[in-house]
A and B are shown apart, each in its own frame.
Chain A
Amino acid sequence: MGATVGVVLFPGSNCEMDVVEAVERLGATGKLLWHDDSNLGDVDAVVVPGGFAHGDYLRPGAIARFSPVMGAVATFAQDGGPVVGICNGFQVLTEAHLLPGALQKNAGLKFRCGPSRLRVETTDSVLTSAASIGDVLEIPINHFEGNYTCSAETLAELRAEDRVVVRYVDNPNGSVDDIAGVCSAGRNVVGLMPHPERASHELLGSTDGVVMLRSLLAAAGLR
């Protein structure tokens, strides 16, 4: 039996069905998790999808972080469960302190929407275990606040601990050190601005996201 991937649904999320569709094509079951529910049920992995959770009011992720589901996601993550935040989901995970740093407005105040090339920097994460270091993946981005920033100490720690998961080949948003995605110290929580689920079928122009989703399903299968 395939793994079950819980996909968190906040008011204002808009990529949840894309994630469900993408993981179901790979043989898993996608299960929506309503933000007001503090029980994840029987899931093997959690994805916090893109969108504008709670309207992005105050700051992206600032209000979503207090949704009851986030307490359950934090417990699941502490227990080693695979958790991936995509785009707005990455912002939510930083606000929830499950990942370090913050996502600022893009340099040049440009909303960036289009394909981006990502270099895989580590395979020791739940999103890249099936890839190879140095692989260049073409994955779309679609964001206004994806400019990753963190303190110098945090950056040094991320580098020393090999926790930069993917870097942009051509930095589209001003992110420090070209960072597109990072992972937690336990390597089971990953956040990234690009959307692997939008690169999961030939009709979408790229299938490069599949290796990421397969990595996630492999981690989910171990639960």
Chain B
Amino acid sequence: MIFDCHVDVQLRPGISDPQGSTIEKALPALGFDGVAGVRVGKSVMFRLEADDEAAARREVEDMCNRFLTNPVIEDASIRVSASS
């Protein structure tokens, strides 16, 4: 089966985010007031062949732990769904 996978990589809570704070400081200059807590991450999308959804999810978790994130500073949230 083919699965659509979406990995959302975010800095862990408590890790400073210089990009997020720069964006947060820039927004009021454009008239967007009241914005707080900006965090910037990255999104990785791909298709994956696996026996079932659980197997696909395990594979993606392994990718995250070993490559797609640096667990010292980043967390990932994973979405896996059967490809249409």
Q: Footprint of B on A, CB under 8 Å?
A: 58-59, 62, 66, 94-95, 100-102, 104-109, 147, 149-151, 174
Q: Which residues of B contact A147 (CB under 8 A)?
A: 16, 18
Q: A109-B19, A147-B18, A174-B16 are in contact. Are A95 and B73 (CB under 8 A)?
A: no
Q: Is B15 touching A106 in the complex (CB atoms < 8 A)? A: no
Q: Is B72 touching A109 in the complex (CB atoms < 8 A)? A: no
Q: Is B68 touching A104 in the complex (CB atoms < 8 A)? A: no
Please pick, from A100, A105, A150, the residue contacting B19 in the complex, using a CB distance under 8 A: A105
Q: Which residues of A contact B18 (CB under 8 A)?
A: 104-109, 147, 174
B77 at the interface (CB under 8 A from A): no
Q: Which residues of A contact B16 (CB under 8 A)?
A: 104, 107, 147, 149, 174
Q: A149-B15, A149-B16, A174-B16 are in contact. Are A102 and B22 (CB under 8 A)?
A: no
Q: Is B19 touching A101 in the complex (CB atoms < 8 A)? A: no
Closest B residue to A60 by beta carbon equals B70
How far, in whole Å, are A59 and B42 apart by their CA atoms in the complex?
A: 11
Q: Which residues of B contact A108 (CB under 8 A)?
A: 18, 22
B32 at the interface (CB under 8 A from A): no
Closest B residue to A110 by beta carbon equals B18
How far, in whole Å, are A94 and B72 apart by their CA atoms in the complex?
A: 10
Distance in angstroms from B21 CB to nearest chain A CB is 9
Distance in angstroms from B75 CB to nearest chain A CB is 13
How far, in whole Å, are A95 and B70 apart by their CA atoms in the complex?
A: 7
Q: Which residues of A contact B67 (CB under 8 A)?
A: 58, 62, 66
Q: Which residues of B contact A58 (CB under 8 A)?
A: 67-68
Q: Is A102 touching B73 in the complex (CB atoms < 8 A)? A: yes
How far, in whole Å, are A95 and B19 apart by their CA atoms in the complex?
A: 21
How far, in whole Å, are A89 and B40 apart by their CA atoms in the complex?
A: 25
How far, in whole Å, are A174 and B21 apart by their CA atoms in the complex?
A: 13
Q: Which residues of B contact A104 (CB under 8 A)?
A: 15-16, 18, 73
| Contact code string B40-81 (vs A, CB < 8 Å = 1, else 0) | 000000000000000000000000000110101100000000
